[in-house]
Amino acid sequence: MPTAVEPTVTNAAAGPTQTRTPRVQGMEHMLTATIRLLEERDPERITVRDVAAASGHHHRFVQAWFGGKVGLFRAAFERINHDAAERIRYSFIADGGFEKDVVASARLMNWLVAAQPGALDGPRPTPIMDVVVEQYQNRYGLDHDTARLMALRLVGAAIAAMLFGGPLGLVPDDLPELAHLEVELATLLAASRSTPA
C-alpha cells in the first residue's frame, strides 16, 4: 500500500528574498530610463511598461512615485533641461544638428502641453532660457530685457525647427546658416545699442 507523502512546508524566511529599492533610488532609475527612452523615440511612443522594463521596476511605481506618466515626463523634462543647459553654455547646435537631449526636451514639452494643458504653467526653473539670456548679456553686452527677448526668439525658433522642420522646409544645411545669422543679428543689435543716437 502506498504511503502518504508528507506535505513540505517551506520556510518563507529561508527562501529567496528580494530586497526593496529605496524610493529615491527607484525614482532615479525610472527617471534615467525615461530620459534614455526619450532620446531614442517620441514621448507618445513610450509606455509606462517601457519605462518599467528599462528601469527594472514595476510599472505601478510610475503612478506611486510620480503620479502617472505626465508626472514622470514632467520630471524628465526638468532634468533634461537642467542637463542640457549645462552643456549648451558652449554649443547650442552640434555639428550634425541639435543635440539629442535638446530635441528630446522640445518634443517632450510639446507632448506635455498636448497631454495636459497647463502642465508647464506657473513659475518653474527655465535653465535653458537662463543660459541663453546670460550668453546674450555676456557676449554682446545686451541689457537683461533685450537679452531675454533675443533668447525667447532664438529658443522659439529652435523649437519650431525641431518640431516642424519638415513642414517649414528646413534642411540640415540651414542650421549653421541660421546660427551664423543669429550671431550677426546680435552683433548688429549690440552695436546699434552702444552707438549714441
Between 90 and 134, the more confident residue is: 134
pLDDT at 2 over 80: no
Q: Is 39 exposed, middle or buried (0-12, 13-18, 19+ CB in 10 A)?
A: middle
- What pLDDT does residue 16 have? 52
Span 6-22, mean pLDDT?
56
pLDDT at 15 over 80: no
**Secondary structure of 135-159 in HEC code, one letter for each residue:** HHHHHHCCCHHHHHHHHHHHHHHHH
Mean pLDDT, the chain, rounded, equals: 86
- What pLDDT does residue 5 have? 39
- Strand bridging mode 97-98 / 93-94: antiparallel
pLDDT at 144 over 70: yes
Q: pLDDT band for position 97 (50/70/90)?
A: confident
| CA angle (94, 100, 104) in 5-degree steps | 135
Rounded (10°) angle between helices 127-140 and 174-194: 50
Cβ neighbours of residue 126 under 8 Å, at least 6 residues apart? 81
Q: What is the pLDDT of residues 171-181, one digit of tens each?
A: 888 888 888 89
Count CB atoms within 10 A of the CB of residue 97: 16
